[in-house]
Amino acid sequence: MINATSVPVITSQGCSIPQIGFGTSQLGDCAELVCHALKLGYRHIDTAWKYGSEKGVGEGIRASGVPRSEIFLVTKVSHEYLSKDAFAKSVDESLKNLQVDYVDMLHVHWPTIDNIPMAETMTALALAKQQGLTRHIGVANFNIALLEQAMSLCPEPIVSLQAEYHPYLDQSKLLAFCQSKGLTFTAYCPLARGRLFDDPVLTEIARNKDKSIAQIVLRWLTQQGNIIPIPRSSNLERIAQNLDIFNFTLTPTEMAQIHALAKPDGRIANPAGRAPLWD
């Protein structure tokens, strides 16, 4: 039986995060899906201003009947709004969309493209925490150099990095840095947007374990330690399967086989003008 207490919690710098989340990128009006996910036992919901799903997430939370205090809610400020005033307005708009007083994690979604000083953005991010609008702060899609810069300039501790990660993308350098700094790593596109569902290696491991390929990949991610995948799906059965990944273990050989699937061209999210020089 899947339930919220079955999901491990990753703790870093006083921030405790359920080790799997429900992602809402490209889901738009997702109220019913979010409600369903919460009733299944998800307690970590990921959204962003850029996704256009914040209103649906807020509606789904209220419809679920799950107390707000039990939900780890994440949103992000888009790269267009990283100046001081625009940042504050974006946070206010997100809270209104979600119909909540605070989020549990606020991320900068992408590095700035308008030469806004990093110090200005990090001060605005820290201020949101100091004002009680978010309990914790992080960044998304930063490389190691940008992460180091952000951590040195931010008046409040950065506890999380969100970045793309799946078996076809080697993120070993970035993961090692996060582990050395005590940062949690939230993995978006954990299933490579379906590109790995025909992979013969994953197919064989899934057959041997009597699990779906998605379950194998999500277990591979969570078994690495500080990694928190946030798969998205509009299929109710798959939403349930994606949560049910903590009752089996992959062997060291199986873990190594999946690590070996990384490809030089495995990255999916790489928008021109926004993406940094990846590690």
Neighbours of 47 (CB within 10 A): 30
Q: Which residues of 134-152 are buried (b: 16+ CB within 10 A; e: fewer)?
A: bbbbbbbbbbbebbebbee
Alpha carbon 257 to chain centroid, angstroms:
24
Alpha carbon 234 to chain centroid, angstroms:
17
Query: Hey, what are 243's tokens?
Result: 């949560």
> Is 109 one of the annotated binding-site residues?
yes
Q: Which residues are known catalytic residues?
A: 51
Query: Hey, what are 8's tokens?
Result: 């491990």
Query: Hey, what are 245's tokens?
Result: 């990944």
Give start and end residues of each alpha helix (H) in 47-184: 54-64, 84-98, 118-130, 144-153, 172-181
Cite the annotated binding site for substrate by residue number: 109
Cite the annotated binding site by residue number: 109
